[in-house]
Amino acid sequence: MNRTYVSQGSKIGIFKHDADDNLELITRVPEIKWNGELITPVKTMLHENDKRLLLLDDSKKSVYCMDLNRGEVIEEWECTNMLIRNINPLAKYAQRTEESMFAAVNNNTVFTIDPRVNQADKLAQKQIYTSAPGLTCVATTGAGRLAVGSAKGEIRLFSEVDKRAKNLLPGLGDAIVSMDVTEDGRWVLATCKTYLLLISTSIESDSKGRTQFEAANAKDRSKPIKLQIDKKDLIKYNIGEVSFTAAHFNTGDNIDESWIVTSTGPYVVTWNFNRLKSSGGSSYEIKLTTQEVVAEQFRFGMDNEVVIATEQSVYKAKRGISTNSTTSE
């Protein structure tokens, strides 16, 4: 995992950590094209042992597959008569394996796409809702359970793609723009515009130790933890309108997630996940960068370094400066 891929409009920058552990630009794909047409991806995802990069285009009708060794798009995948609103690895870290299938959602369907299908329509499994719940995003656990967010703020927890959701969590009514899940599936992280929701999926009364991905549970639910920037810090740091980017747990082989990272404007914000789990309260850290952040993520296998992408540059930085604000409720 010594490569970082950053989409900037219709360009892709490929970076590596050099001998001094600094980010170094290896190459830049100046124009992403397919059949002579420019592609502007709204979502990118590493795939098939990190050898390929999947690009969901702005029309949301196709997923394009880029060969990272050649630096060019080599295939286009569609699902007939279906938009593709978001994509995600079939299981957490599946992108680091040879797994070909991946998960996807649109307004009313949870489904999988299988590029190996020998026809134009690559749709594999699906779960369709006639009520059109406005599904927006999906994340998966290490075992391939799915957490799906919606524009209504609802979160659906699935044990498998082609089965009905085991549980429907109501949220707080604001649209969910991104989801993440711990590898063991015991915590779900939802990003809304001005706050994050952290939700335990454990069922205390379940003698088998199952989570809400695996068993229906209408009564024994933990109260969501709401994470937001305190008003006094909005004033202190001169933060105007809050608009969080997709929040993520730190990641790595054989690790327990311990931090959460997101950003708003030029500020990177991190929460201590270990403290949240143990006490339900947390102090967060805020780091001012030089430009507006478009994406950020912990460096793989580390919990103190964040890779930050702006519209003009990509670099890594330490987590931030701690505040004393308690931000859970």
pLDDT for the residue numbered 206? 85
315 pLDDT above the threshold of 80:
no
pLDDT for the residue numbered 26? 72
pLDDT for the residue numbered 2? 58
Phi and psi angles of residue 88, each rounded to the nearest 5 degrees, phi first: -160, 150
> Span 230-236, mean pLDDT?
94
**pLDDT greater at residue 318 or residue 128:** 128
**pLDDT greater at residue 12 or residue 26:** 12
pLDDT digits (tens, 9 = 90+) for 241-282: 999 999 999 988 877 899 999 999 999 999 999 999 887 666
104 pLDDT above the threshold of 70:
yes
pLDDT for the residue numbered 277? 86
> Span 173-193, mean pLDDT?
96
pLDDT digits (tens, 9 = 90+) for 211-220: 999 999 878 8
| C-alpha–C-alpha distance, residues 158 and 103, integer Å | 12
Q: Which long-range contacts (CB under 8 A, 24 or more apart) does 80-84 make?
A: 80/120, 80/121, 80/123, 82/106, 82/109, 82/111, 82/123, 83/107, 84/56, 84/60, 84/113
Query: Nearest Cα to 203, choosing from 188, 221, 185, 191?
Result: 221
| pLDDT confidence band for 198 (50 / 70 / 90) | very high
For residue 268, give every residue at least 6 positions away whose Cβ sits within 8 Å of its Cβ, in sequence order, or none. Answer: 261, 262, 286, 287, 289, 293, 296, 306, 308, 317, 320
Q: Is 95 helix (H, G, I), strand (E, B) or coil?
A: helix
pLDDT for the residue numbered 328? 34
| pLDDT confidence band for 15 (50 / 70 / 90) | confident
**pLDDT greater at residue 313 or residue 245:** 245
CB of 322 within 8 A of CB of 300? no
| C-alpha–C-alpha distance, residues 50 and 3, integer Å | 9
> Span 154-167, mean pLDDT?
95
CA distances from 214 to 124, 209, 227 (A): 22, 10, 26
pLDDT above 70 as % of the chain? 94
pLDDT for the residue numbered 281? 64
CB of 318 within 8 A of CB of 305? yes
**pLDDT greater at residue 302 or residue 106:** 106
> Span 50-72, mean pLDDT?
90
| pLDDT confidence band for 325 (50 / 70 / 90) | very low
Rounded to the nearest integer, the mean pLDDT of the chain is: 88
Phi and psi angles of residue 234, each rounded to the nearest 5 degrees, phi first: -60, -40
pLDDT for the residue numbered 320? 65
**pLDDT greater at residue 311 or residue 324:** 311
pLDDT for the residue numbered 327? 37
pLDDT digits (tens, 9 = 90+) for 281-308: 667 999 998 889 988 888 888 888 888 8
Sequential DSSP letters for 35-68: TTEE--EEEEEEETTTTEEEEEETTSSEEEEEET
pLDDT for the residue numbered 175? 97
pTM: 0.90
